[in-house]
Amino acid sequence: MLDLAAQHAALQPALGEAISVVLREAEFINGPAVAAFAQELSAALGGPHVIPCANGTDALQLALMSLNLPPNAEIILPAFTYVATAEAAAVLGLRPMFVDVLPTTFCLDPVAVEAAITPRTGAVLAVHLFGQCADMEALMQLSTRRGIPLIEDNAQAIGAMYRFTDGAQAAAGTIGEVGTTSFFPAKNLGAFGDGGAVFTNDAARAAFLRQLANHGQTRKYHHQHIGLNSRLDTLQAALLRVKLPHLPAWTAARQRIADHYDAALGGISGLRIPYRDPQSSHVFHQYTLTLENAPSAMSCKNICASGACRAWCIIRCRCTCSPPMPTLAHGPGSFRCLRTCAAPCCHCPSTRC
Ligand SMILES: Cc1ncc(COP(=O)(O)O)c(C=O)c1O
């Protein structure tokens, strides 16, 4: 789906130099590149505090830990997502509460979120799936009105911009109480191994998150909180610093390719091209087609193999049906839109077609 070898070949001299510096300095944990990358990423996203960490799953766990929720607090999240979103809540003894997504954006349905709120709700966790923001206007209004913190899982939409109806704009991941991202190699900004980050606009929460990501230390060997060992390696930070300035151009290329797919596939009956929400830019982590009335993934594969593009067919993780979440089993028909979105989805390559 993403030709990383070609991407890296173009950056080879700068990547090689970045590796040499890290080897020479030998500060492999929390070396200077980590703080420098955090600062540069913050500048690129409009100035939030950036707390680098080991991966996007830890970023979600840290975000939830920073809210100090009571055991068994309910975390409302979309039924259509990558498993890590629910896993991060479950591993902390919190209860993932799955709600339906919108058939247009594949992201949380704010009406379903409101209906799922109970006195035990601890947070709402929105996922900007495939590269486009959830309905942040409605979700932020809900969060403020009900006093429930909103977390953004921005593993798939780094660089996307959201525009509110009053004209204010903000980068995906920087709008809610806490945002998270992943630098998994295949992400739009990918490292050379695992990596992640947490975002917040609140200085006190940022300080707490930094401690949580480093064994709960307030300073060396002073462990005030139960934390994690979740640090972005210096080497990954150094390499990400080389890639970060290219993110806008890579995003623009993804958008051009998506336009090309739209033009080629837009008129095909039974095939729905990605919806473009006027309030969010789309960074096309995945260009996702939906087969209307498709009975199975196989027919999706066949349609794609037959023509306009090389595509990869995938049945997305439907966490609600996963064995590790048995206590949360939902009955058939619980998620009307999930059924229509998840089964017949296929994704096209975002860097070449
Ligand atoms: C939506 C979403 N959330 C969280 C993650 C977890 O990120 P990581 O693989 O870096 O732990 C991913 C990664 O695929 C993801 O797509």
pLDDT digits (tens, 9 = 90+) for 242-263: 999 999 999 999 999 999 999 9
Phi, psi (rounded to 5 degrees) for 319 = -55, -30
Residue 188: CB within 6 Å of ligand 1? no
pLDDT greater than 90 at residue 231: yes
Average pLDDT, the chain: 89
Q: What's the average model confidence in pLDDT over 329-349?
A: 61
d(CA 182, CA 196): 4
63 CA → ligand 1 middle, Å:
14
pLDDT tier at 1, thresholds 50, 70, 90: confident
294 CA → ligand 1 middle, Å:
27
Q: Whose CA is nearest to atom 14 of ligand 1?
A: 82
pLDDT greater than 50 at residue 314: no
Kind and range of the H or E run holding 89: helix 83-91
Q: Are 41 and 199 in contact (CB under 8 A)?
A: no
Give percent above pLDDT 90 in the chain. 80
Tokens of 273: 């091209």
pLDDT greater than 80 at residue 265: yes
pLDDT tier at 179, thresholds 50, 70, 90: very high
Which atom of ligand 1 lies closest to the CA of 55?
10
Q: What is the pLDDT of residues 75-95, one digit of tens each?
A: 999 999 999 999 999 999 999
pLDDT at residue 348, as a whole number: 72
58 CA → ligand 1 middle, Å:
9
Place of tokens 């593993």: 155
**Fold match, 4-245 / 247-348:** no
Instruction: State which of 77, 151, 182 you would mutate to test the pocket of ligand 1, scoring each by most atoms of that ligand within 8 A of its C-beta.
Output: 182
Q: Are 197 and 181 in contact (CB under 8 A)?
A: yes
d(CA 282, CA 270): 23
Beta-carbon contacts of residue 267 (< 8 Å; ≥ 6 apart): none
Q: Whose CA is nearest to atom 8 of ligand 1?
A: 56
Q: Could you state, in order of their start, the residue ranges of all structural domains in the chain? A: 4-245, 247-348
pLDDT greater than 70 at residue 49: yes
Which atom of ligand 1 lies closest to the CA of 128?
1
Q: Are 108 and 136 in contact (CB under 8 A)?
A: no
N-term to C-term CA, the chain: 9
Q: Based on the number of CB atoms within 10 Å of its own CB, is 349 exposed (0-12), middle (13-18) or buried (19 or more)?
A: middle
d(CA 126, CA 143): 11
pLDDT greater than 60 at residue 99: yes
Q: Whose CA is nearest to atom 7 of ligand 1?
A: 56
Which atom of ligand 1 lies closest to the CA of 129?
1
| CATH number for region 4-245 | 3.40.640.10
* DSSP-derived secondary structure for 223-256: E-S---B---BHHHHHHHHHHGGGHHHHHHHHHH
d(CA 146, CA 234): 40
pLDDT tier at 347, thresholds 50, 70, 90: confident
3-state SS class at 271: strand
pLDDT greater than 90 at residue 326: no
Q: Are 70 and 304 in contact (CB under 8 A)?
A: no
Kind and range of the H or E run holding 338: helix 336-342
Rounded to two decimals, the pTM is: 0.90
Q: What is the pLDDT of residues 126-146, one digit of tens each?
A: 999 999 999 999 999 999 999
Q: What's the average model confidence in pLDDT over 271-299?
A: 85
Virtual CA dihedral for 164, 181, 339, 281, nearest 10 degrees?
Answer: 30
pLDDT greater than 60 at residue 353: no
d(CA 170, CA 87): 28
Q: What is the pLDDT of residues 14-27, one digit of tens each?
A: 999 999 999 999 99
3-state SS class at 62: helix
Higher pLDDT, 323 or 198: 198
Q: Are 96 and 319 in contact (CB under 8 A)?
A: yes
Tokens of 243: 């890639």
d(CA 296, CA 322): 19
Is domain 247-348 annotated with CATH 3.90.1150.10?
A: yes
187 CA → ligand 1 middle, Å:
9
57 CA → ligand 1 middle, Å:
6
Tokens of 326: 């048995």
